[in-house]
Amino acid sequence: MKFRKLLTVYLFLLFLAAATMCSLWWFNQKQKQTITPRDYNEIQAEGILRITTEYSSSGYYISGDTVEGFQYELSQAIAQIAGLEIRTSLEMSLSESFKALDENKCDVIARNIPITSELKAKYLFTDPIVMNKQVLIQRTYEANNGIEPLRNQLDLAKKTLYIPHNSPALLRLQHLEHEIGDTIYIIEEPAYSSEQLAIMVAKGDIDFAVCDLQAARIFKRDFPEIDIDTDISFTQLQAWAVRTNSPVLADSLNSWLKKIREEGIYNKIYKRYYDSQRK
């Protein structure tokens, strides 16, 4: 008799657990179904534009009790013109940022993304935000025991270069290997941003990293030990990305960016972060 009661209790608990799991699965599926693609009309109706960017001086960062960052200030300037609230999420990985965009968790990836033919086939890009290129981060002659910085890309053979995981620099470095006809050891760091890798170079923890010039100029101001004068790639156009089913949003962003440029707001923000003479 006691065994039957225990069996009944166990079966009831098992049924309850199964029912709970099914309910959670159903709720999760329903949530996925209710997240629908958003274009400008839906964004305007809600009054909220969702962007994702990286935590860095070129994206979004906190200085004391103030929020700063090139992408952050640019998005706030757009908010003033568009009459929208900006909600910002932070994601260091570019691939995860595209995943969030694909899953409609954000409306815009607000970071300096190289406009490549491969990405243009999958996403819409705004008009170029910046002109940029990839550069080598290494130590200066004075900070590296009198060793001259590398200036010839051929000298990268057999060297180890660090980049953030899924960095846009990866494809360029792979092409560079073929161009010089030798191996370049490329290490993708999943836990570190370009800024953190630049700090590691400055401290002597690693010898070489690669990042875009605009970010490198910011790092150079904070860490004069690094040298950023060796190009890895040609100049590239870089912009923000939206989904292909958000063409009106893309057009609206271009309109707002044009107005920001015409009013001189863009130049003020750009110089604040990317002027190489800034101290």
pLDDT per position as a tens digit, 247-269: 999 999 999 999 999 999 999 99
pLDDT per position as a tens digit, 202-222: 999 999 999 999 889 989 988
- pLDDT of the residue at 31: 45
- pLDDT of the residue at 134: 95
Determine the CATH number of domain 134-234.
Answer: 3.40.190.10
pLDDT per position as a tens digit, 119-172: 999 999 999 999 999 999 999 999 999 999 999 999 999 999 999 988 888 989
| Domain boundary assignment for the chain | 40-130+238-274, 134-234
- pLDDT of the residue at 4: 61
The mean of the pLDDT values for the chain is 88
Determine the CATH number of domain 40-130+238-274.
Answer: 3.40.190.10
* Alpha-carbon torsion, ordered 189, 190, 194, 198, to 10 deg: -40
pLDDT confidence band for 198 (50 / 70 / 90): very high
